[in-house]
Amino acid sequence: MRTPFSLTLLSFLLSGLVPMHAFGQPENIFGEPGAAAQPFGGISNATAVPSSVLTNKIVEESHVVVQSLQQRPPQNAIDISRAILYMVRIERWDEVGRYLNQLATLPLDATTASKMTRSVGLETWFKVGSNVEKVSEEQRALVHKILELSSGAVRSQTSVSNAISQLNSKELLDRKRGVLAIQGAGESGIAALLESVASSSKPAAPIVSELIITMGDEGKAALKASISTSDSIARERLLLIAARTPGNDYLAELMASVSVLPPTSPTYQVVAKVLAPSGQTLPSADAAQRLVLGRMEAQLKLYHSLRREATVKTYGVWRWSSDGKHLLSELDDAASIHLEEAYRLAYLAIQLAPHTSIDSPLATSIILERNYRIAPTIELDLPAFQRNFKPFEKSENLEYLGAVSDTSMKNGLLGSQLRSIQAIGNAIRKAPQNTATSMARLMAAVKNSPPAIRYSAASALTQLLDSDTKFEGRYTFEQTKQEMLELESKPLALVVGGASELRDALATQLSMLGIRTLESKSARETMRLIQKPNPIEYVFIVDKVLEMNLSELVQRLRTSPRTRLLPLAVLTDRISSDQRTHLEIEGFDDVHYFSVTHSRELTSALLDEMHETSPIPQMDSIDRITFRSIFEPLEGK
């Protein structure tokens, strides 16, 4: 007989009263003989969703949140749980059921269930499990299973909470038990420990810094991430832990944060005491800013060098939750690790800026880029954007926003460029100002940016123009306006190749995947099509063409403002390895090379890879229709 949900809930809550013993043999941080040291274990990746589940047919959808998830399907149990959270919030129970069915295909263990519960909260699962009208009996049984498996998490949290309090005990045996419990809890132990330090008004136990060291790279990464909290009081508490940790791992964080504190501050005094034996002194704010910016730029270079690599390998990246209360290790790719590090340093640079003579739009660009990558929607969430800009107090300063836009374009941070262009439009909408400079900046984006940014800039320009306004670039603006009127809910791809059967084969596959196509059989026709107001979002080359060899055609496409940044794939074996090497040496290393395929599954995989490695913001159906609607009323007048 199946256990009623109410009893499952009661037993789940009561299970928090049951202690859980620590496990594993951790490193002995007390310096006593006889205890063997053991490296800290790595993160256990969440179970991946089978490809057969991820390739479900996507139906036409009007809600932007559902559309966004369909465009970028969740990749593992944790991501599916978050998708369920979003669907519960907007009361899309049909989508909740679909994601529950995906979860049912995955093997679930206590560790994964614990992460799922921590990611979305118990309330989400309680709402789903108690909705007998919208959720099937089998699906509710799955929720009960998740809750039962997660009951270990409640016990673990209780155990870790008790362990943290034991760290301050006068008894050595109690302190040992506390250390063992936190080490045994792994990621949860690290997160709970640092959350406790951040939220407690009591001084952290002296042993906390040494305990973080025993956690290895995970402990170091978690502490670095925790210092990026927006809570200044919590940040000082965490800085004290970093200051007491041996080594130079936190030098940039300490110098940046401490250089703006008064010398009477406890944190200042602790750091000064740490640096004194080595003869180092606390730097000026300008010196700290230069150190932070140098390291930030180095991390940005690493991000760019890895961004184009298509890989399924994932890593744990530590971040604060959106409400700033929980420290989470989320799965992401190698490039994102460096973007997160650059973001953390950029936040330090912004905090330093009011105290220095150095103002860095690049730091703002990195923050906007990172936030865009976490929530990659075209539509601007203005309240969230203004919260991101709160430390800068420049969310409506056109001069500074323009500098951020220019810096974003220069550094290939296209999510940031999109957001800064949207912010310029918002500032102009509230109070038209600095019109000539704003128009020039927006026109630069219209001429030399990928579709979503070009359309956003054109939309902002409409607030500064009327039908009689004359300005340099008016023709380009009118062409862009016409291009936006040609947008449809489905994206448009350009398929190039001399062989009609190869063009038609790929066009058929793309059509089955919801993509419209234009076809071209020659280089001259290709150049003509990309100069016309066609809202092209992809380019595929399936065969050689008249007038140019393949490498020359790729170079022409990659130097044209309209196609410079569009996802581009060469699906032919007729390009030699020498030609490919030449293109990479010339800097055209973001081209995807595949053999011609007649398989919809392989074509879908190619599109996924193009999306994953592309720097441009990807539009969905709602975005395209929204952009088109901006000029439709004007056409009717």
The per-residue b/e assignment along 501-523, b for 16 or more CB within 10 angstroms, e otherwise, is ebbebbbebbeebebbbbbbbbb
Question: In the prediction, which pLDDT does 328 show?
Answer: 86
Give the ranges where 121-136 is alpha helix by DSSP (H). 122-129
**Does 200 score more than 50 pLDDT?**
yes
| pLDDT over 50 at 19, yes or no | no
Residue 637: predicted pLDDT: 42
45 class by beta-carbon count within 10 Å (0-12 exposed, 13-18 middle, 19+ buried): middle
Q: Are 160 and 178 in contact (CB under 8 A)?
A: no
Crossing angle between the packed helical segments 435-447 and 414-430, to the nearest 10 degrees: 150
Between the two ends of the chain, the Cα-to-Cα distance in Å is: 68
Q: What is the pLDDT of residue 115?
A: 79
More confident residue, 336 or 387: 336
Best CA proximity match to 490, nearest among 507, 506, 466, 511: 511
Q: Predicted confidence band at 123 (pLDDT cuts at 50, 70, 90)?
A: confident
Please tell me the distance from the alpha carbon of residue 245 to that of residue 239, in angstroms, as a whole number: 10
Kindly report the number of other CB atoms within 10 A of residue 417's CB atom. Answer: 32
- Rounded to an integer, what distance in angstroms lies between the CA atom of residue 118 and that of residue 341? 24
Flag whether pLDDT at 458 surpasses 50: yes
| Span 535-554, pLDDT tens digits | 999 999 988 888 888 888 88
Q: What is the mean pLDDT of residues 207-232?
A: 86
pLDDT band at 469 (very low <50, low <70, confident <90, very high): low
- Give the whole-angstrom CA distance, residue 136 versus residue 323: 32
Q: State yes or no: pLDDT of 446 exceeds 80.
A: yes
Distance (Å, rounded) from C-alpha 603 to C-alpha 601? 5
Contact 332, 314 (CB under 8 A): yes
Assess contact for 539 and 557: CB atoms under 8 A.
yes
Question: Which residue from 306, 282, 412, 295 is spatially nearest to 348, judged by alpha carbons?
Answer: 295
Per-residue pLDDT band for 73 (boundaries 50, 70, 90) equals confident
Please say if the pLDDT value at position 30 is more than 70.
no
* 199 φ/ψ angles, rounded to the nearest 5 degrees: -100, -15
Q: List pLDDT tens digits, range 280-311.
A: 667 788 888 898 999 999 999 999 888 766 45
pLDDT exceeds 50 at position 5: no
Q: What is the pLDDT of residue 54?
A: 39
Q: Which residue has better confidence, 307 or 151?
A: 307
